[in-house]
Amino acid sequence: MTLEPPTRHPLRRPLQFSNSDWLKAWLNRAYRALLNLKNLRILRWIDSPMPGLAWCHRPGAPSPESWIHPADEPAARRLSEELASGHARATLRLARIDGDWLPVDVVANIVLLDQHTTAGLFTLRRASGTAR
Protein backbone atom coordinates (compact mmCIF):
# COMPACT_ATOMS: atom_id res chain seq x y z
CA MET A 1 0.00 0.00 0.00
CA THR A 2 1.35 3.40 -0.97
CA LEU A 3 0.43 6.56 0.81
CA GLU A 4 -0.27 9.48 -1.44
CA PRO A 5 0.15 13.05 -0.29
CA PRO A 6 -3.09 14.79 0.61
CA THR A 7 -4.61 16.76 -2.20
CA ARG A 8 -5.18 20.47 -1.72
CA HIS A 9 -8.42 22.07 -2.68
CA PRO A 10 -7.60 24.24 -5.72
CA LEU A 11 -9.65 27.21 -4.49
CA ARG A 12 -8.29 27.27 -0.95
CA ARG A 13 -4.94 28.88 -0.44
CA PRO A 14 -3.29 28.96 2.95
CA LEU A 15 -3.11 32.37 4.57
CA GLN A 16 0.29 33.82 3.85
CA PHE A 17 1.18 36.34 6.51
CA SER A 18 4.09 37.66 4.46
CA ASN A 19 1.55 38.91 1.93
CA SER A 20 -0.81 40.34 4.53
CA ASP A 21 0.55 43.85 4.96
CA TRP A 22 -2.79 45.03 6.29
CA LEU A 23 -2.59 42.47 9.08
CA LYS A 24 0.89 43.63 10.05
CA ALA A 25 -0.25 47.25 10.00
CA TRP A 26 -3.25 46.41 12.18
CA LEU A 27 -1.15 44.49 14.68
CA ASN A 28 1.48 47.24 14.84
CA ARG A 29 -1.17 49.75 15.92
CA ALA A 30 -2.79 47.42 18.44
CA TYR A 31 -2.12 47.25 22.16
CA ARG A 32 -2.89 44.15 24.23
CA ALA A 33 -3.70 44.01 27.92
CA LEU A 34 -5.00 41.48 30.42
CA LEU A 35 -8.05 42.76 32.30
CA ASN A 36 -9.78 41.71 35.47
CA LEU A 37 -13.27 40.88 34.19
CA LYS A 38 -14.94 41.70 37.51
CA ASN A 39 -13.85 45.33 37.76
CA LEU A 40 -12.54 45.99 34.21
CA ARG A 41 -9.14 47.11 35.46
CA ILE A 42 -5.97 46.38 33.55
CA LEU A 43 -3.87 43.76 35.30
CA ARG A 44 -0.90 44.17 32.98
CA TRP A 45 -0.01 45.15 29.46
CA ILE A 46 1.21 42.40 27.14
CA ASP A 47 2.83 45.01 24.91
CA SER A 48 3.70 48.59 25.77
CA PRO A 49 0.69 50.61 27.03
CA MET A 50 -1.40 52.57 24.55
CA PRO A 51 0.16 56.06 24.42
CA GLY A 52 -1.87 58.81 26.05
CA LEU A 53 -4.35 56.45 27.72
CA ALA A 54 -5.13 57.20 31.39
CA TRP A 55 -5.49 53.57 32.35
CA CYS A 56 -3.80 53.37 35.76
CA HIS A 57 -5.03 56.34 37.80
CA ARG A 58 -7.43 59.22 37.40
CA PRO A 59 -7.48 61.69 40.29
CA GLY A 60 -10.95 61.99 41.77
CA ALA A 61 -12.23 58.95 39.90
CA PRO A 62 -15.36 57.55 41.56
CA SER A 63 -14.77 53.91 40.57
CA PRO A 64 -12.09 51.60 39.19
CA GLU A 65 -13.93 51.56 35.87
CA SER A 66 -13.60 55.34 35.53
CA TRP A 67 -11.09 54.99 32.71
CA ILE A 68 -14.14 53.94 30.65
CA HIS A 69 -16.56 56.72 29.66
CA PRO A 70 -19.59 56.55 32.02
CA ALA A 71 -22.01 56.18 29.09
CA ASP A 72 -19.93 53.24 27.78
CA GLU A 73 -19.68 51.30 31.07
CA PRO A 74 -22.82 49.21 30.28
CA ALA A 75 -21.29 48.26 26.91
CA ALA A 76 -18.03 47.36 28.65
CA ARG A 77 -19.92 45.15 31.11
CA ARG A 78 -21.75 43.44 28.22
CA LEU A 79 -18.39 42.92 26.51
CA SER A 80 -17.12 41.19 29.64
CA GLU A 81 -20.27 39.03 29.91
CA GLU A 82 -20.17 38.05 26.23
CA LEU A 83 -16.76 36.46 26.78
CA ALA A 84 -18.60 33.37 27.98
CA SER A 85 -18.97 32.62 24.26
CA GLY A 86 -15.22 33.05 23.69
CA HIS A 87 -14.79 36.54 22.24
CA ALA A 88 -16.53 39.89 21.88
CA ARG A 89 -16.11 43.28 20.19
CA ALA A 90 -17.10 46.84 21.04
CA THR A 91 -16.07 50.45 20.55
CA LEU A 92 -15.53 52.22 23.86
CA ARG A 93 -14.42 55.71 24.82
CA LEU A 94 -11.44 55.48 27.15
CA ALA A 95 -9.91 58.25 29.24
CA ARG A 96 -6.88 60.08 27.89
CA ILE A 97 -4.26 61.65 30.15
CA ASP A 98 -5.28 65.10 28.87
CA GLY A 99 -8.79 64.57 30.27
CA ASP A 100 -10.52 63.94 26.93
CA TRP A 101 -11.92 60.62 25.66
CA LEU A 102 -10.44 58.37 22.98
CA PRO A 103 -12.72 56.07 20.92
CA VAL A 104 -11.08 52.64 20.89
CA ASP A 105 -12.06 49.44 19.07
CA VAL A 106 -11.81 46.54 21.50
CA VAL A 107 -11.57 42.86 20.64
CA ALA A 108 -11.78 40.74 23.77
CA ASN A 109 -10.96 37.07 24.28
CA ILE A 110 -11.17 34.93 27.39
CA VAL A 111 -7.83 33.68 28.77
CA LEU A 112 -7.31 30.92 31.31
CA LEU A 113 -4.61 32.05 33.75
CA ASP A 114 -4.71 28.93 35.91
CA GLN A 115 -7.14 26.14 36.72
CA HIS A 116 -9.61 28.49 38.43
CA THR A 117 -8.81 31.97 37.13
CA THR A 118 -9.74 33.68 33.89
CA ALA A 119 -9.00 37.14 32.55
CA GLY A 120 -9.83 39.08 29.45
CA LEU A 121 -7.24 39.59 26.76
CA PHE A 122 -8.27 42.94 25.31
CA THR A 123 -6.75 44.14 22.06
CA LEU A 124 -7.16 47.91 21.84
CA ARG A 125 -6.87 49.93 18.68
CA ARG A 126 -7.82 53.54 17.94
CA ALA A 127 -11.24 53.57 16.33
CA SER A 128 -11.04 54.29 12.62
CA GLY A 129 -11.42 57.95 11.83
CA THR A 130 -9.81 59.21 15.05
CA ALA A 131 -6.70 61.37 15.03
CA ARG A 132 -3.40 59.78 15.94
pLDDT tens digits along 28-56: 688 999 998 888 888 899 888 899 898 87
Query: Does 21 reside within a domain?
Result: no
Helical ranges in the chain per DSSP H: 21-28, 73-82
- Taking the C-alpha atoms of residue 28 and residue 58, their distance in angstroms, rounded to an integer, is 27
Query: Does 1 reside within a domain?
Result: no
The pLDDT score that the predictor gives to residue 16 is 42
Number of domains in the chain: 1
Q: What count of other Cβ atoms lies within 10 Å of the Cβ of residue 23? A: 11
Query: Does 14 reside within a domain?
Result: no
| CA atoms lying within 13 Å on the CB side of residue 97 | 7
- Domain range for 108 is 31-126
Radius of gyration of the chain (CA): 19
Q: Are 65 and 76 in contact (CB under 8 A)?
A: yes
Mean pLDDT in residue range 102-129 = 88
> Is the pLDDT confidence value at 21 over 90?
no
Query: Does 62 reside within a domain?
Result: yes
pLDDT digits (tens, 9 = 90+) for 65-106: 578 999 999 999 898 888 877 789 999 999 998 889 999 999
Query: Does 131 reside within a domain?
Result: no
The listed range with the strongest mean pLDDT (13-17, 40-44, 104-108, 113-117) is 104-108
